[in-house]
Amino acid sequence: MLDDAEVQPEKITRPGTLGVYAAIIADDLLGAERLRDLLRRNGVESFLRHSRSASNDEALSAPLSVLRVVTAERGEGGPRHGTTFTLEQACARCGTGARPLGDVLLKAGDVPKKGPVFQTLDHEYFVSDRVRDALGAAGITGAEFHAVRAAAGAEERLPWSQLVAPYALPPADPETSGGIRRQDPCPECERDGYFGTAQSPLELRYSVGREDLERVPDFAVTWEHFGRSNLVEPFEDSVFAQPLIVVKPRAVDALLKLKIRNVAFDPVAVSDS
């Protein structure tokens, strides 16, 4: 069908547990749409996910960029395995804004054996000890690291740390930002209930003064939290929506020097307020 649609994909991934193939088609939206129409006419269900790929130079020149992990999420996070959280700055109703205290407990079998970066199914960011040490040596600001331990047995130290950025940006401009939809946000804090879309790539836009931008550390997070929070009893069953991590050029440069293959940067548009 690829020949019939006159499409040359960069890559075709093998089907996983869901039996779904993925074809990566670069810079050919019309070709992708032809392929989708051809599949539909042959009774094959499919959908298009639009994404963009910024060059290293674009990410380095942007005032802010969203740090995106491009590999599949794995393993449950949050309080599920006994990690302690503080709700001091969290919404009392839904728990959005909860942050880990001390070490983070994960199921050892869910943690990659190697690699630089991964995310849990709860959208939390984890970096290897190598990445953590390199960011520290580069003097990167705004990053907080929580050591990972195995949830069972002797709670052995695993070679990973959760990356948390306490500094939150103001809300993105809802009128000009793209690639975001809202669904059932918490009626009290309205910070959760944000989701990405397959139809258009994420495009965040901010109105921030020069002095305010200079005060932003190298690592920060969005005010918006993606997913839906649910603060319940027992606490271990709670789920907390997560913000996106946003980085400044110094952090981009430090990560690029590590030659990490499974991260990408989505430049953020900033205008002087």
pLDDT digits (tens, 9 = 90+) for 212-249: 999 999 999 999 999 999 999 999 999 999 999 999 99
Q: Taking the mean position of all CA atoms in its chain, how far away is CA 13?
A: 21
Total number of domains constituting the chain? 2
Same domain, 256 and 191: yes
DSSP string computed for the chain? -TTTTT---SEEEPP-TT---EEE--S-HHHHHHHHHHHHHTT------------HHHHHHSSEEEEEE-SPP-S--TTTTS-EEE-TTS-TTT-TT-EEES-EEE-GGGS-SS-SEEE-TT--EEEEHHHHHHHHHTT--S-EEEEEEESSTT-PEEEEEEEE---BPPPP-TTT-BSEEE-S--TTT----EEE-SSS--B-EEE--HHHHHHS-SEEEEEEEEB--B--SSGGG-B--EEEEEE-HHHHHHHHHTT-TTEEEEEEEEE--
- What local confidence, expressed as pLDDT, does residue 212 receive? 93
Same domain, 140 and 28: no
Tell me whether strands 104-106 and 144-150 are parallel, antiparallel or unpaired.
Answer: parallel
Same domain, 153 and 202: yes
Same domain, 132 and 91: yes
Q: What is the pLDDT along the chain (273 residues), one digit of tens a residue?
A: 556 656 666 666 666 555 666 766 665 556 666 766 766 777 777 655 656 678 899 999 999 999 999 898 999 999 999 999 999 999 999 999 999 999 999 999 999 989 999 999 999 999 999 999 999 999 999 999 999 999 987 779 999 999 999 999 999 998 888 889 999 999 999 999 999 887 778 889 999 998 999 999 999 999 999 999 999 999 999 999 999 999 999 999 999 999 999 999 999 999 886
pTM: 0.83
Same domain, 92 and 109: yes
Same domain, 166 and 195: yes
What gap in Å lies between CA 244 and CA 106, rounded to an integer?
21
- What local confidence, expressed as pLDDT, does residue 145 receive? 98
Domain residues for the domain of 36 are 1-48
- What local confidence, expressed as pLDDT, does residue 118 receive? 97
Same domain, 176 and 228: yes
Answer with the one of 17, 32, 48 that is the final residue of a domain. Answer: 48
